Amino acid sequence: MLLYRTLVSFLKDDEYRDLLLTTTIVIAFGSVVYHYLEGWTWIDSIYFSVITLTTVGYGDFSPQTDEGKLFTIFYIVIGIGIILSFINTIYHHYTAVKSNDKPTKEEK
């Protein structure tokens, strides 16, 4: 229930929605480029975009073309700040909602 309330309150806020939209656009943009430059499937392209921008980097995929490698350098520099900002915002929003859920001494 807490997760549902957190998600609903997150989506009601304009600033959070803009950040979610920006994150979605960055991942979609990278996925389209990898799909066409590297010839990967859509799911592989989305997977690589998310894994790269979250800095997990499993190493199971890597760009093989020079264009793909150059794009990846650009993509990481631009996208990592956006993705980490999104993750940080979600974490802070969740902890704020969670702390408001704790009963006060008067409610006990």
Contacts (Cβ under 8 Å, ≥6 apart) of 93: 6, 9, 10, 16
Cα 108 to Cα 93: distance, rounded to the nearest angstrom: 25
Give tens-digit pLDDT for 41-92: 999 999 999 999 888 888 888 999 999 999 999 999 988 888 888 888 878 8
pLDDT, tens digit (0-9, with 9 covering 90-100), for 81-100: 888 888 888 788 778 777 87
* Encoded amino acid at 69, one letter: K
Q: Assign domain 13-95 to a CATH class.
A: mainly alpha
